Structure 1
Amino acid sequence: MTLSAFIKQKRDETNLTQAELAEKAGVGLRFIRDLEQGKETLRLDKVNQVLKLFGSEVGPVEMVRE
């Protein structure tokens, strides 16, 4: 699952609008829209502000090399 899909799914599960999620996370509405649309360049600290509301965070994950 992509990060954008995860955020949208969690937002839908908690019945929050994008504006409500932005307010609760302390970020701008534009940031939430960009996040849900899969923008590739976003500030990691702000992504984690949003994810914190859902008990998650972004961090380093070891890659499997084939």
Structure 2
Amino acid sequence: MNLLSKTIKAKRKENGLTQEDLSLKSGLGLRLIREIEQGKTTMRMDKVNQLLNLFGMELIPAAKSKSNE
């Protein structure tokens, strides 16, 4: 599991949402929600940002930390 998948899963649970709820609220497919939470590594950034937007977050370019290299 990667940082993105952990973050989305944690935010979903903090907000008391099921994966189905998150799918409906974000307008994204349930399959994509499940894949993201399972650590899928290839996906469209606009879809990820659509999902993160629900939690007041977005993907941004950032330098890699030493532990991620």
TM over 0.5: yes
| Structure 2 gap segments, 5+ residues each | none
**TM-score scaled to structure 2, two decimals?**
0.87
- Higher helix proportion: 2
Give secondary structure in 2 for the equivalent of 1:53: helix
Q: Which residue does 2:46 correspond to in 1?
A: 45
How many residue pairs match? The answer is: 65
CA distance in 1, matches of 2:51, 2:13: 14
Alpha-carbon offset, residue 63 of structure 1:
3.4
| Structure 1 gap segments, 5+ residues each | none
Q: Which residue does 2:6 correspond to in 1?
A: 5
Q: Which runs of 4+ in 1 moved over 2 A?
A: 62-65
Aligned-residue CA RMSD (Å):
1.5
